[in-house]
Amino acid sequence: MTIEPTRMLTGPGVLRVVWLPGSDQLQGTCHCGAVHIAEGPVEVWDWLLAHPVGHEPPPAATHVQPVLVGAGV
């Protein structure tokens, strides 16, 4: 089963959280590509917001607006 969202923001500073169907778990994806699976929203957001310690989105991209893209639209 694929868990890819049908619509999502893209960009260098985007943090993504998706629910894993059939479970009580959430998968958080950092802008650097690191992935963490958590039992709840507090845990996943704590990890996402703490994970970027030591790394930031590319400075050149700080003024780039995230773009909402849709699949099959």
Of 14, 15, 18, 30, which one interacts with Zn ion (CB under 5 A)? 30
**Position 35 contacts Zn ion (CB under 5 A):** no
Nearer to Zn ion, 2 or 28 (CB): 28
Nearer to Zn ion, 53 or 73 (CB): 53
Q: Which two tokens stand for residue 13?
A: 């500073």
Question: In the bound complex, what is the minimum distance in angstroms from residue 9's beta carbon to Zn ion?
Answer: 16
The residue length of the chain stands at 73
**Position 32 contacts Zn ion (CB under 5 A):** yes
Expressed in angstroms, the distance from the first to the final Cα of the chain is: 21
CA atoms within 13 A on the CB side of 28: 19
